[in-house]
Amino acid sequence: MKEISVEDLKTKIDQKDSFTLLDVRDPFELHISNLDYESITIPMDELSSRVDELDESQEIIVMCRSGSRSGTACEFLEKKGFSNVINLKGGINDWAKKIDPKLPVY
């Protein structure tokens, strides 16, 4: 599985690269901490029933709180035939520690 660091994701955002950010956290988590970037939110437990909402032709960067659920989501998407999925290593908590310390770590 491919992974991307929060620093590299920040670069992609700043350069306005084209990709889909998929957030697989639960709805309550979005109120705790969130990136200032447009994303598609599909909680992990809904991913199998909502996979058709994703565009296979796009690069998809998957995020969660720590990188664990997003890793599982990447594996699931790869099994479904998605070839360009990338796990955000360390998740939103790593982003909060290294990119935006105003965000809470939870």
pLDDT (tens digit per residue) in 55-98? 999 999 999 999 999 999 999 999 999 999 999 999 999 999 99
The pTM assigned to this predicted structure is: 0.96
User: Does residue 74 have an active-site annotation?
Assistant: no
Look up residue 83 and give its two tokens.
């070839």
The position carrying tokens 């660091």 is 5
Which one of the listed residues 6, 42, 54, 64 is annotated catalytic?
64
- Taking only the tens place, the pLDDT of each residue in 5-40 is 999 999 999 999 999 999 999 999 999 999 989 999
Cα–Cα distance for residue pair 58/20, rounded to 1 Å: 7
